[in-house]
């Protein structure tokens, strides 16, 4: 006699299907949680990366502005005490520090798009995130508007250094008649050479003033 196999209970089959569906839903939910967690962690990392980067740039700007201000507390080219021993060297030291700090701010500003991209990549940001952050960075950190000010200031400081170096290198060729007349050269050729530097300096100061008037970002 053939053995008869009892049919599976419909109730038991339904319970198996329900368990499979529940298990599948659990797996899907777990995957979703992992994805959301990764997105959250990635977003947090990129935000922190951008924040640290902007903090660094602002610090460099602040250092440059303080150095420029320190070099201008008194007129770097003023006649008062300029004949005193070590006075030209003291002024040059302040101006060289200002030039170095301002140059660093210029270079970091010029390199900021590439540097931000590199930092975001190291933080694991996607191409879409990088593009989004670059756009926000350009809008909020308007280097295109600020750069002319820093470039003009650099030119001013470099010309101040050039004039003081000229005075130091030709120490026996000039003197101070009075504070109003300023430096008096005994040689016409040296006077013309110094006046040429002085005219470049006056033009650079005017360019700086015009750049500052166009942008309040780097005052």
Domain membership flag for residue 83: yes
Residue 212 has pLDDT above 80, yes or no: yes
Print burial letters for 169-185: b (CB count within 10 Å at least 16), e (below 16). Answer: eeeebbeeeeeeeebeb
Q: Structural domain tally of the chain?
A: 1
Domain membership flag for residue 108: yes
Domain membership flag for residue 110: yes
pLDDT grade, residue 6 (50/70/90)? low
Q: Which has the higher per-residue pLDDT, 113 or 217? A: 113
**How confident is the model over 40-82, as pLDDT tens digits?**
334 677 888 888 888 888 888 899 999 999 988 888 888 888 9
Domain membership flag for residue 140: yes
Domain of residue 149, residue span = 26-214
Residue 173 has pLDDT above 70, yes or no: yes
Domain membership flag for residue 158: yes
* For range 157-167, the mean pLDDT: 96
**How confident is the model over 107-147, as pLDDT tens digits?**
999 999 999 999 999 888 888 888 988 988 888 888 888 99
Q: Lowest-pLDDT range, 6-15, 29-38, 118-127, 184-193?
A: 29-38
* For range 35-42, the mean pLDDT: 38
Q: Which has the higher per-residue pLDDT, 3 or 75? A: 75
The proportion of the chain whose per-residue pLDDT surpasses 90, expressed as a percent, equals: 43
Taking the CB of residue 116, how many other CB atoms lie within 10 A of it? 21
Q: What does the pLDDT read at residue 140?
A: 84
* For range 92-103, the mean pLDDT: 96
Q: What does the pLDDT read at residue 28?
A: 45
Arithmetic mean of pLDDT over the chain: 81
Domain membership flag for residue 169: yes
Domain membership flag for residue 1: no
Which pTM was predicted?
0.76
Q: What does the pLDDT read at residue 202?
A: 95
Q: How far apart are the first and last CA of the chain?
A: 104
Q: What does the pLDDT read at residue 89?
A: 95
Q: What does the pLDDT read at residue 79?
A: 84
Domain membership flag for residue 45: yes
Q: What does the pLDDT read at residue 177?
A: 76
Q: Which has the higher per-residue pLDDT, 20 or 136? A: 136
């Amino acid at each position: 006699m053939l053995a008869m196999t009892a049919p599976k209970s419909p109730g038991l089959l339904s319970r198996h299907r329900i368990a499979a569906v529940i298990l599948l839903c659990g797996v899907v939910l777990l995957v979703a949680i992992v994805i959301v967690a990764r997105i959250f962690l990635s977003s947090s990392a990129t935000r922190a990366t951008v924040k640290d980067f902007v903090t660094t740039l602002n610090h460099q700007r602040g250092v440059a502005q303080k150095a420029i201000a320190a070099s201008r507390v008194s007129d770097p080219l003023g006649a008062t005490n300029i004949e005193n021993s070590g006075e030209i060297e003291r002024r040059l030291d302040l101006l060289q520090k200002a030039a170095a700090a301002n140059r660093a701010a210029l270079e970091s500003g010029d390199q900021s798009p590439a540097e931000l991209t590199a930092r975001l990549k190291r933080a694991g940001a996607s191409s879409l995130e990088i593009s989004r952050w670059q756009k926000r960075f350009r809008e909020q950190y308007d280097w295109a508007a600020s750069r002319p000010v820093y470039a003009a200031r650099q030119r001013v400081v470099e010309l101040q250094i050039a004039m003081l170096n000229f005075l130091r290198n030709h120490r026996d060729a000039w003197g101070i008649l009075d504070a109003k007349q300023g430096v008096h050269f005994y040689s016409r050729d040296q006077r013309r050479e110094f006046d040429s530097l002085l005219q470049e300096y006056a033009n650079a100061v005017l360019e700086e003033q015009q750049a500052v008037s166009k942008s309040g970002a780097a005052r």
